[in-house]
Amino acid sequence: MIIDYRSDTVTRPTAGMLEAMMRAKVGDDVLGDDPSVNELEALSADLFGMEAALFCPSGTMTNQIAIKCHTQPGDEVICDFTSHVYQYEGGGIAFNSSASVQLLQGNRGRITADQVRNSINADDVHKPHTSLVSLENTCNRGGGSCYELEEIQKIRTVCDERGLKLHLDGARLYNAIVAKKQSAQEFGQLFHTISVCLSKGLGCPVGSVLLGPADFIKKARRIRKVFGGGMRQAGFIAAAGIYALRNHVDRLEEDHQHAKQLEAALNELPFVSQVLPVETNIVIFTVAEGYTPQNLVAQLKEKGILAYAISATQIRLVTHLDVTPDMINETIRIFQQL
């Protein structure tokens, strides 16, 4: 048995999801004719109380389209230094938008309104024009940490005062919503635009949605085509998204409980020096002196457990739909025998 904690992207579609995909009504989405894509976009926009949505192949694409739409070449984007948009999208902010970045040192990925206020450039010809703030929730490198809505509200106020747009990389936003008992509607009110991944904890094979005002989504649709993301009978994968939004949201709680079980067990082990506080489905731990993440990951692999070494000292485990309670028990047993 292989127990795969490398990411929540490794899930396979469930039987119910596959059935929904097989039954999907499809058309040519570039022509606007795919009823399943149209339904997914309408459903997503409705869930968040936003005007419109755009279905895209990946979360990288939804983020990059948003950044492209919100900036002009030479503008500056404010984000935490660990942000996916900066660290893991191939330099896309520069490549696609010719924009620069102001990196902030957040608390496990979360930045504050004061930090944002202090990093907006003055209206000075020497400086790039600050036009966008991008937050991540949950924060991947923060170990699945979540924002408080109050802080986001404060950040939004700063953005409104200074004429900036506020984007959310919500690859794992539903994990935060479930863990913090928040609502999608609250997030819809706080952000100008939101990207949500369907292919992570929600268990779809492919896809992300970008949410925003109707005029923004119209522009985003044009950029999606330029980026090569216009898909034809995409309804087969959109149907998986509809199924996930209806059936796979509440169960995220189970992934969070599993992550907490792993956290508790890891905290007892001699070769673990620290576990980042677990809030959702990500467990990041630091290995004690004398051990290396690479070595531990290799030992785990021999025993059928897959994980990633994410830095010179840290290992990441991500729980998801295909991890069962038995697998968690087995994992803890294996860790205790290392």
Ligand X SMILES: *Cc1c(COP(=O)(O)O)cnc(C)c1O
Residues lying near ligand X in the complex (CB under 6 A) are found at 58-60, 63, 84, 136, 140, 169, 171, 197, 199-200, 208
Q: Which residues pair with 134 in a beta bridge?
A: 167
Select 7 or 130, whichever has its Cβ closest to ligand X. Answer: 7
Kindly tell me which of 164 and 171 has the beta carbon lying closer to ligand X: 171
Let me know if 254 is exposed, middle or buried by CB neighbors in 10 A (0-12, 13-18, 19+): middle
Rounded to a whole number of angstroms, the minimum distance from the CB of residue 179 to ligand X is: 15
Of 142 and 272, nearer to ligand X (C-beta) is: 142
Quote the strand ranges of 42-199, DSSP E.
52-56, 76-80, 100-104, 130-136, 165-170, 193-197
- How many CB atoms are closer than 10 A to CB 217? 23
Cβ closest to ligand X, residue 43 vs residue 310: 310
Tokens of 267: 């905290």
The gap from C-alpha 231 to its chain's centroid, in whole angstroms, comes to: 22
Q: Give the nearer residue to ligand X in terms of CB position, either 80 or 335.
A: 80
Q: What is the smallest separation between the CB atom of 314 and ligand X, expressed in angstroms?
A: 16
Q: How far is the CB of 230 from ligand X (least distance, A)?
A: 17
- Tokens linked to 146: 């979540």
How many other CB atoms are there within 10 angstroms of residue 325's CB atom?
A: 11
Taking each helix axis from N to C terminus, what angle separates 252-266 and 325-337, rounded to the nearest 10 degrees? Answer: 10
- For helices 15-22 and 235-247, angle between their N-to-C axes, nearest 10 degrees: 140
User: Nearest distance from residue 139's CB to ligand X, in Å?
Assistant: 7
- Checking 215-218 for CB contacts under 8 A at 24+ apart, the result is 216/52, 216/69, 216/192, 217/51, 217/52, 217/53, 217/54, 218/52
Residue 104 C-beta: closest distance to ligand X, Å = 16
Pick the closer one to ligand X by CB: 59 or 212.
59
Of 82 and 130, nearer to ligand X (C-beta) is: 82
**C-alpha–C-alpha distance, residues 53 and 62, integer Å:** 10
Residue least distant from ligand X (Cβ): 59
Q: Nearest distance from residue 258's CB to ligand X, in Å?
A: 18
Shortest distance, position 138 Cβ to ligand X, whole Å: 8
